[in-house]
Amino acid sequence: MAKVKTKFVCSNCGDVSPTYLGRCPNCGEWNTFVEEIVQKNDGEAGSVSRVSFDGQKSKPQLIDTVDAHDAPRYKVPSNELNRVLGGGVVPGSLVLIGGDPGIGKSTLLLQVSGQLSQLGKKVLYVTGEESADQVKMRADRLKINKNDQLYVFPETDMTAVRESIANLKPDVVIIDSVQTMQESEVTSAIGSVSQVRGVTADLMNIAKTNNITIFVVGHVTKGGAIAGPKTLEHMVDTVLYFEGDKHHSYRLLRAVKNRFGSTNELGIFEMIDTGLKEVQNPSEIFLEERLHNATGSAIVVAMEGTRPILVELQALITPSVFGNAQRTATGVDRNRVSLIMAVLEKRAGLMLQNQDAYLKAAGGVKLVEPAIDLAMAISIASSYEDVSTNPKECYIGELGLTGEIRRVDRIEQRIREADKLGFSRVVVPKHNLDGLQLNSEIEIVGVTTIREALKLSLPK
């Protein structure tokens, strides 16, 4: 009997080694190599060339002769999903959705399946984790109306899935999840690197050659990354992450890769008994529990893609008990907190080197843009001086190392959002006032230095 040949494949990046290695030389991750059997055409399932179900092969053609308007985007009733996808669903695209277990990935896609079927789109929901009865129970809970365009197929074999797609010719296919699918030509275990790579390559060929939109659910590792080789994210068109705390009802949908739109957009949902409900005005949610005269609190108008969101930044400054002061941050960058505290100490005269600092962006949202610097500085100074800020005032601006307040982009959209929510004054960089044209009643105050901003916002 011939000896079985094996190889070791990195589950993070797909790098191959003839022997086991503790650390991957390609991506640097530890303990990611798994043993697999060597076989012919490993991980290359199906035909090499792209052939559609009607037998048409792709061929070279002049780019001027390509008609890009045959299959325009179509919108789903979920405006939040449309926003994150870049304006709607692109026919023939392959979309990967990842998230923690129980966060609502299957719920979101089943709701989208019901919405698309109501629009006349034929949808095939392939589930490898549930039976048809279990999917029907969830559909009843989500109050998905009866229709003749939504098909459920409990199957894990990709050969059977391809045959079903060829027979039904659906407009949209849901794969829940890619780690449960199996290529018959690949002898590796289900969920292995070779299986995931082969299944994804097969789904990509189906989507591109037949103009079928495919949504794929991907499991995540304990580190939060999508399980499987990193090539999985490179192969698909769009990668969405569904985030949120299972102890809270709000869920955030982010795009980390999108060939057809921006990666800065954010969709916000609320998990209720009947499924996921869109949040039309997230600013009101992030501000609804704010105390009136609390110290260490400042409101910032942050941009998530093209959407302005008002978020409360909270700071707690307390004397340090130990020798080294602590810097703890939730929802904002910890290094940015240290930088802003250093600027406040050097340029504004606040003695913060012996103070512990705890900062948080309320509501579970993550803020990374420079425009939050001024609000962070105001909240830190408010807690240190134990002076409350004006509850009807918000702050926008980037803080430089010399203490200057630098201009930010989309200032008009930010001010309009603050005005819409009833704020009476907004503090902005003075250079942003040049050419600003707004017909609103909100008071707009321009500042040039952090000292000027503190004197204006925290009168003693």
Domain endpoint, select from 260, 280, 300: 280
Question: Whole-prediction pTM value?
Answer: 0.76
Residue 177 banded pLDDT, cuts 50, 70, 90: confident
Q: State pLDDT tens for residues 75-94.
A: 898 889 998 998 899 999 99
186 domain residue, yes or no: yes
Q: State pLDDT tens for residues 8-54.
A: 888 777 788 888 999 988 888 888 888 877 765 544 444 455 556 66
Half-sphere exposure of 310 (CA within 13 A, CB side): 27
- On whether both 389 and 321 belong to a single domain, the answer is yes
Average pLDDT over residues 148-175: 93
Residue 184 banded pLDDT, cuts 50, 70, 90: confident
* C-alpha torsion 420→455→325→373, nearest 10: 40
67 domain residue, yes or no: no
For residue 26, what pLDDT is reported? 84
Residue 224 banded pLDDT, cuts 50, 70, 90: low
3-state secondary structure of 139: helix
49 domain residue, yes or no: no
For residue 297, what pLDDT is reported? 95
- On whether both 215 and 86 belong to a single domain, the answer is yes
Q: Residue 410 belongs to a domain with what CATH number?
A: 3.30.230.10
For residue 71, what pLDDT is reported? 54
- On whether both 177 and 253 belong to a single domain, the answer is yes
Please check the confidence at residue 348 and state whether its pLDDT lies above 60: yes
Phi, psi (rounded to 5 degrees) for 349:
75, 20
For residue 247, what pLDDT is reported? 67
371 domain residue, yes or no: yes
**Containing structural domain, residue 212:** 75-280
What single-letter DSSP state applies at residue 182?
Answer: B
Residue 124 banded pLDDT, cuts 50, 70, 90: very high
- On whether both 241 and 291 belong to a single domain, the answer is no
Is residue 390 a contact partner of residue 457, using CB atoms and an 8 Å limit?
yes
The most confident of 47-61, 155-169, 209-223, by mean pLDDT: 155-169
pLDDT higher for 105 or 46? Answer: 105
Q: State pLDDT tens for residues 370-388.
A: 999 999 999 999 999 999 9
- On whether both 233 and 294 belong to a single domain, the answer is no
Q: State pLDDT tens for residues 243-302.
A: 887 667 888 898 989 998 888 788 889 888 888 999 888 888 778 778 888 899 999 999
- On whether both 232 and 302 belong to a single domain, the answer is no
For residue 52, what pLDDT is reported? 62
10 domain residue, yes or no: yes
For residue 261, what pLDDT is reported? 86
* C-alpha torsion 24→218→167→189, nearest 10: 50
Give the Cα separation of 196 and 146 in Å (integer).
Answer: 33
What's the domain count of the chain? 3
Please check the confidence at residue 364 and state whether its pLDDT lies above 90: no
- On whether both 83 and 151 belong to a single domain, the answer is yes
Domain endpoint, select from 280, 303, 334: 280
Residue 159 banded pLDDT, cuts 50, 70, 90: very high
Please check the confidence at residue 369 and state whether its pLDDT lies above 80: yes
- On whether both 26 and 139 belong to a single domain, the answer is no
Instruction: Characterize the bridge pairing of strands 297-304 and 307-319.
Output: antiparallel
- On whether both 182 and 293 belong to a single domain, the answer is no
Average pLDDT over residues 428-439: 88
Give the Cα separation of 395 and 411 in Å (integer).
Answer: 11
- On whether both 269 and 140 belong to a single domain, the answer is yes
- On whether both 433 and 346 belong to a single domain, the answer is yes
Tell me whether residue 44 is exposed, middle or buried, using C-beta atoms within 10 angstroms of its C-beta: 0 to 12, 13 to 18, 19 or more.
middle
Structure tokens at 253: 């949908």
44 domain residue, yes or no: no
43 domain residue, yes or no: no
Average pLDDT over residues 431-457: 91
- On whether both 305 and 406 belong to a single domain, the answer is yes
63 domain residue, yes or no: no
